[in-house]
């Protein structure tokens, strides 16, 4: 049986010579991996870029927990992201955070819709998006049910409690204008990740934060 679904790409893992396992978020399947055969031949590798929103036909099997995806095509072009080096770096970071924080098989209510909305928002932004990943991390904690507030974030905030409080208490557009040095921005992202680690009781090593550190110095 085939089911048509919209998926957000988080990560891919090579599987044999011409296949990959595509790790995704979707409304129907939550956080789940799908086998894609003919990657690079039948399916262009550009479809698997981090946080891409794609459409696919999902074939479910009673004999295997690994379902297959075929007929893959972009659901949204995301040219505003793909033509911008800084936005590409942000989506690389966001996809890795989601891949490591949300466990395989998890069905977090509202997560897919929230992620999709934020991808389209980042795609549309023309300027003032250097703080986007900080706001994303704080909102992710809310979506996952951790309810961050000024007091609960304080033990993780280092010398940035006042700035974190501003992110919590201002609108999205206002939070994008909070002036931060690259060093402070990177430190705050690491501190929020430690807060998330505490709540999921697991280490979250996000290698792509190094890329943001270089871009947003």
pTM of the model: 0.93
C-alpha dist (Å) from residue 23 to 14, 74, 81, 130: 11, 16, 20, 26
Task: Please choose, from the candidates 118, 110, 139, 131, the residue with its C-alpha nearest in 3D space to the C-alpha of residue 188.
Answer: 131
**Distance in angstroms (rounded) separating the CA atoms of residues 131 and 138:** 11
User: What pLDDT does residue 65 have?
Assistant: 75
Q: What is the DSSP letter of 43?
A: B
> How many CA atoms are closer than 13 Å to the CA of 101, on its beta-carbon side?
25
What average pLDDT does this structure show over 132-159? 93
Convert the pLDDT of each residue in 55-76 to its tens digit: 999 998 777 678 899 999 999 9
Burial 150-179 (b: 16+ CB within 10 A, else e): eeebeebbeebbebbbebeeeeeeebbebe
Per 3-state DSSP, the chain is made up of helix, strand and coil in percentages (nearest 5) of: 45, 20, 35
What is the per-residue pLDDT for 90?
94
The answer to whether residue 212 scores a pLDDT higher than 80 is no
Instruction: Report the pLDDT value the prediction gives residue 52, as an integer from 0 to 100.
Output: 97
Confidence band for 170, pLDDT divided at 50, 70 and 90? very high
What values do phi and psi take at 71, rounded to 5? 60, 35
The per-residue pLDDT for range 189-211, each reduced to its tens digit, is 999 999 999 999 988 888 887 77
Interval 1-59: pLDDT, tens: 788 999 999 999 998 888 899 999 999 999 999 999 887 776 788 889 999 999 999 99
The encoded tokens of residue 81 equal: 């992201």
Q: What pLDDT, on a 0 to 100 scale, did the predictor assign at position 217?
A: 63
Mean pLDDT, rounded, for 168-189: 93
Of the pLDDT bands very low, low, confident and very high (cuts 50, 70, 90), residue 123 is very high
Long-range contacts of 68-77 (CB under 8 A, 24+ apart): 68/34, 68/35, 68/36, 68/37, 69/7, 69/22, 69/34, 69/35, 69/36, 70/36, 70/37, 72/36, 72/43, 72/47, 73/47, 74/47, 75/6, 76/119, 76/120, 76/123
Average pLDDT, the chain: 91
pLDDT value at position 58? 94
Q: Which two tokens stand for residue 136?
A: 């994303």
> pLDDT band for position 215 (50/70/90)?
low
> Is the model more confident about 216 or about 6?
6
């Amino acid at each position: 049986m085939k089911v048509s679904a919209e998926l957000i790409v988080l990560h891919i893992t090579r599987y044999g010579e011409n296949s990959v396992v595509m790790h995704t978020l979707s409304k129907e399947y939550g956080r789940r991996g799908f086998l894609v055969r003919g990657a690079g031949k039948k399916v262009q590798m550009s479809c698997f870029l981090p946080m891409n929103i794609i459409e696919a036909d999902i074939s479910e099997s009673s004999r295997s927990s690994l379902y297959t995806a075929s007929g893959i095509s972009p659901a949204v072009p995301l040219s505003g992201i793909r033509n911008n080096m800084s936005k590409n770096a942000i989506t690389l970071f966001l996809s890795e955070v989601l891949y490591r924080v949300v466990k395989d098989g998890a069905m977090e209510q509202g997560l897919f819709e929230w992620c999709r909305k934020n991808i389209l928002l980042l795609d549309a932004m023309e300027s003032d998006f250097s703080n986007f990943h900080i706001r994303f991390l704080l909102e992710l904690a809310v979506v996952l049910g951790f309810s961050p507030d000024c007091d609960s974030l304080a033990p993780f905030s280092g010398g940035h409690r006042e700035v974190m409080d501003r992110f919590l208490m201002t609108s999205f557009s206002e939070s994008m204008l909070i002036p931060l040095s690259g060093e402070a921005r990177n430190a705050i992202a690491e501190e929020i990740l430690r807060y998330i680690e505490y709540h999921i009781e697991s280490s979250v090593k996000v290698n792509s934060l190094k890329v943001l550190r270089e871009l947003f110095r």
